[in-house]
Amino acid sequence: MLLEEFNFKHEVLESAEPVLVDFWAEWCGPCRTMTPTLHALARDFKVCKVNVDKNQKLAGRYNISSIPALLIFKNGQVVAQHLGVTAENVLRADLKRAQS
């Protein structure tokens, strides 16, 4: 799910379940590398994407200075964060921990 400033609060901060948010850009090669991993995770978890070029204010709010930046939110708070290409098993373990 692509997020913008207007739906971020509802989809992420107010979500009853943990949410993996991928801060990315179209021109970012490592971001494209993460696509299969994110699709696999989206089968079991809520995964959202924020284009940093189109949502600079939102990216700034979370101090995103390099991408891909993968933040896991639970109850409106960041509970895990990874920068760069990250293995599916690492993200899956963090998401499972956030569910408990």
Catalytic residue among 28, 40, 42, 79: 28
Residue 89 exposed, middle or buried by CB count within 10 Å (0-12, 13-18, 19+)? exposed
Q: Is 48 annotated as catalytic?
A: no
H-helix or E-strand spanning residue 77:
strand 77-83
Query: What is the rounded distance in angstroms from the CA atom of residue 84 to the CA atom of residue 69?
Result: 6
Catalytic residue among 12, 21, 31, 48: 31
Query: What is the torsion angle, in degrees rounded to the nearest 10, for the CA atoms of residue 92, residue 18, residue 7 and residue 3?
Result: -10
Q: Is 28 annotated as catalytic?
A: yes
DSSP assignment of 81-100: EEESS--HHHHHHHHHHHH-
Active site amino acids:
28, 31
